[in-house]
Amino acid sequence: MTVTETTPEVLDGREVLIGVSGGIASYKTAILVSRLVQDGAGVTVVMTEAATRFVGAATFEALTGRGVVTGLFGDPRFPLGAHIQLSERADLLVVAPATANFLARAAGGLADDALSTLSLAFSGPSLFAPAMNATMWENAAVQRNCQQLSDDGVMLVGPGEGWLSCRTQGIGRMAEAAEIHAAILQQLVPVDPPVPND
């Protein structure tokens, strides 16, 4: 099976953490989460407080069948801390959308909310999908942060060019759910080696 030939079992038994930071592109993340669940993955969503202003936690709870993590403290499901317990069982961390604020926190190693703390505690492969205004994306500080994250081994998907929510055209549009999904499969689904000819 190649990574493009998906079946409902292609991610069976794999655990994917989906981080959602505060951007309008988070509606695309709901599409991505639905696709991963259909592929058989166990999906847990961690949202920043700002993200809940764009898409409600109830949306992701309905799609995943799991509670959404939105805070650092007081969650009885994770007595040792969600950032510890979730990071220990996950195969991949995906942050979509990854705002300029989140990218700066991750690049600097800050951990002051549930998502940034989880990002710092997670030692497996990470995939971030940046999304922001074109001028923000072109800012030197954002580019430095992205370079640092790439140097640290984080896979960046996008952003693309097109119509932005600020009613302008430019680079900064979050990659489409299908593109992020393909990148996830590349990380988690081994490609069968070629069969030798006898």
Residues involved in catalysis: 166
Whole-angstrom distance, CA of residue 48 vs CA of residue 46: 7
Phi and psi at residue 108, to the nearest 5°: -90, -5
Packing angle, helices 100-108 and 140-151, rounded to 10 = 50
Q: Where are the alpha helices (DSSP H) in 14-95?
A: 26-38, 57-64, 82-89
Which CA distances in Å does 49 have to 36, 115, 198?
23, 10, 59
Closest by CA position to 119, among listed 95, 147, 100: 95
Phi and psi at residue 46, to the nearest 5°: -120, 125
Whole-angstrom distance, CA of residue 191 vs CA of residue 74: 41
Residue at 172: amino acid letter: G
Whole-angstrom distance, CA of residue 103 vs CA of residue 122: 15
